[in-house]
């Protein structure tokens, strides 16, 4: 997930800078250098955001599964104690 966020944000950053350079009639060398700089910066930001998102989803799923297993285990304990008596 982090890789995907990083790639998308880097690509968006580069495309925006390239389009702005074309609109303003800026020079090719300066535009490409600026675009690559923004690509690296937004790629790093995307990596961090993607990592945080992946951790959040993993923790949410883990918590939900643990709660369901605890509820299932509690129901089984109740049924076993009723059957033994």
Give the model confidence (pLDDT) of 15-58 as tens digits: 999 999 999 988 999 999 999 999 999 999 999 999 999 999 99
Mean pLDDT of 5-9: 91
Separation of alpha carbons 9 and 48, rounded Å: 11
pTM: predicted TM-score of the whole model, two decimal places: 0.71
Mean pLDDT of 76-82: 65
Residue 1's pLDDT is 80
Buried b vs exposed e over 40-66: b needs ≥16 C-beta within 10 Å? eebbeebbebbeeeeeeeeeeeeeeee
Which residues are CB-contacts of 51 (< 8 A; sequence separation ≥ 6)? Answer: 1, 2
- R_g of the chain, CA atoms, integer Å: 25
């Amino acid at each position: 997930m982090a890789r995907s966020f990083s790639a998308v944000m880097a690509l968006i950053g580069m495309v925006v800078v390239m389009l702005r350079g074309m609109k303003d009639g800026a020079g090719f060398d300066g535009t490409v250098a600026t675009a690559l700089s923004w690509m690296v910066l937004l790629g790093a930001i995307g990596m961090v955001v993607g990592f945080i998102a992946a951790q959040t989803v993993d923790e949410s799923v883990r918590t939900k599964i643990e709660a369901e297993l605890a509820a299932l285990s509690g129901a089984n304990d109740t049924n076993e104690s009723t059957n033994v008596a």
